[in-house]
A and B are shown apart, each in its own frame.
Chain A
């Protein structure tokens, strides 16, 4: 076998198959970030001062530092606290925290976009915090949230490419590996980019459609 092999169909399929790890990492980060984000958003709109401050600090830290540094800090931080180096776990944890902060901030905006009269009307009817959020505020906020949330998911999918740097073999990392063997960087990274596009573009279209649908449904 020669040291440098040509870029052919097998190489192409190896890259395509690596997309499953990009999808898996995105799905984990999005699911974890969804739960964390809801918690952060609720803390952020709390009446109490401390939960609000803690959530704000969390958001500021993750918004104010590069995703790559967040990955590094979790990856090396896990090592310091005595956990074995595990790119999978580090990438999943870092991206979940990252997504929690961003979704938390997006959803806070959506919750606050629900007119205050809605909360007042529910309160005046004697409906308490939990049911007020569950039946009155969050259903309305979630309609507003659909489009920006899917928009963030697109950012998140692209963001998983940084996990390549801590040695997590997803789409980008697989591209680097294949490129080392074939040395056809334009073909290899062209393929990688095309796969990201195929993943992200339908989501962007979906986001736009849902935005239209909900704006019609909630027209007042």
Chain B
């Protein structure tokens, strides 16, 4: 396994805080989905969040670009206080890329159109320039030849790589991954993970909800375990997998390995 150094993180402006969550609480009606979450992420840090289903891990990262709103607490992303509302939410969404379990590519647009829509409509970049950027990122996720196709014509792994390229076209400061490989056939998991590993090597700040523990070991700076809406344990991969403290984490690790 390759060790990824943190050196590239410094190129992106030093280890300042990119995400700061303080006392975050969220309820779905009576269901307490997030309980007093405190989490700080520094620039260039790669974080893997795991836990049983329904533990709140997806909800947690969806709060960072406010796909979910919180009822209590504070979230600051790259200096923009989401809880203060207003323009901050728009700014944060523009600076945060997200990759979903179900890809969520726009089925009525070609791969290239999927990648150029947001840069053109949100950033006001010209079509020619947006397409140039899109082709660069499609090259990086190794599917430049699929640019003119529609999502339905691609395999799941290819679709997910397009989704990653689409997010990167907005030149985000943070990438959020919400179980990016869970909907994929086993033989396609690796191609998506390899793309994510490349991204990690380049120093992207990443928060990944995933069950891929091999990826966590190889890439993560910190692994977080959540259950029933709480963060129960945080540690480097070697601490986390080698010497877990929490009983529920021990049970969880026993079940997945």
Where the two chains meet, the residues of A that have a C-beta atom closer than 8 Å to any C-beta of B are 115, 117-118, 120-128, 131, 135-136, 139-140, 143, 218-220
How far is A120 from B58 in the complex, measured between Cα atoms in Å? Answer: 13
Which 6 residue pairs are nearest across A and B when measured between Cβ atoms?
A: A121-B104, A126-B94, A125-B118, A124-B98, A117-B104, A126-B93
List A contacts of B106 (CB < 8 A). Answer: 118, 121-122, 136, 140
Proximity string of chain B (64-90) to chain A, C-beta cutoff 8 Å, 1 when within and 0 when not: 010100000000000000000000001
- Closest Cβ–Cβ distance, residue B29 to chain A (whole Å): 17
How far is A125 from B166 in the complex, measured between Cα atoms in Å? Answer: 9
Q: List CB contacts (< 8 Å) of B93-120 with chain A.
A: 93-94, 96-98, 100, 102, 104-108, 117-118
List B contacts of A120 (CB < 8 A). Answer: 67, 100, 104
How far is A220 from B156 in the complex, measured between Cα atoms in Å? Answer: 11
On whether A123 and B107 interact (CB within 8 A), knowing A117-B100, A117-B102, A219-B152, the answer reads no
Query: Which of B94, B121, B166 contacts A135 (CB under 8 A)?
Result: B121
B141 proximal to A (CB < 8 A): no
Query: B104 and A220: CB pair below 8 A?
Result: no
List A contacts of B170 (CB < 8 A). Answer: 125-126
Number of B interface residues, CB 8 Å? Answer: 26
List A contacts of B1 (CB < 8 A). Answer: none
The residue in chain A whose Cβ has the minimal distance to the Cβ of B96 is A124
B216 proximal to A (CB < 8 A): no
Query: B121 and A131: CB pair below 8 A?
Result: yes
Query: B167 and A139: CB pair below 8 A?
Result: no
The residue in chain A whose Cβ has the minimal distance to the Cβ of B101 is A117
List A contacts of B94 (CB < 8 A). Answer: 125-126
How far is A153 from B227 in the complex, measured between Cα atoms in Å? Answer: 53
How far is A131 from B93 in the complex, measured between Cα atoms in Å? Answer: 15
The residue in chain B whose Cβ has the minimal distance to the Cβ of A137 is B106
**What are some 13 contacts across the A-B interface (CB < 8 A)?**
A115-B104, A120-B100, A120-B104, A123-B65, A124-B167, A125-B93, A125-B118, A126-B93, A126-B94, A126-B122, A127-B117, A218-B108, A219-B152
How far is A120 from B108 in the complex, measured between Cα atoms in Å? Answer: 16
On whether A139 and B108 interact (CB within 8 A), knowing A124-B65, A125-B118, A126-B94, the answer reads yes
Q: Main SS of chain A's interface residues?
A: helix
Query: A143 and B117: CB pair below 8 A?
Result: no
Query: B122 and A127: CB pair below 8 A?
Result: yes
List B contacts of A123 (CB < 8 A). Answer: 65, 67, 93
Query: B90 and A126: CB pair below 8 A?
Result: yes
- Closest Cβ–Cβ distance, residue A83 to chain B (whole Å): 44
Query: B118 and A126: CB pair below 8 A?
Result: yes
Query: Which of B93, B107, B122, B166 contacts A220 (CB under 8 A)?
Result: B107
How far is A115 from B105 in the complex, measured between Cα atoms in Å? Answer: 11
- Closest Cβ–Cβ distance, residue B186 to chain A (whole Å): 21
List A contacts of B98 (CB < 8 A). Answer: 121, 124
How far is A165 from B172 in the complex, measured between Cα atoms in Å? Answer: 63
* A122, A125, A136, A219: residue with the most chain B Cβ atoms closer than 10 Å: A125
- Closest Cβ–Cβ distance, residue B18 to chain A (whole Å): 17
On whether A125 and B152 interact (CB within 8 A), knowing A117-B100, A139-B108, A140-B108, the answer reads no
Q: List CB contacts (< 8 Å) of B119-163 with chain A.
A: 121-122, 151-152, 163
- Closest Cβ–Cβ distance, residue B65 to chain A (whole Å): 5
The residue in chain A whose Cβ has the minimal distance to the Cβ of B169 is A125
- Closest Cβ–Cβ distance, residue A62 to chain B (whole Å): 31
List B contacts of A135 (CB < 8 A). Answer: 117, 121
How far is A125 from B93 in the complex, measured between Cα atoms in Å? Answer: 6
On whether A218 and B107 interact (CB within 8 A), knowing A121-B100, A125-B117, A126-B94, the answer reads yes
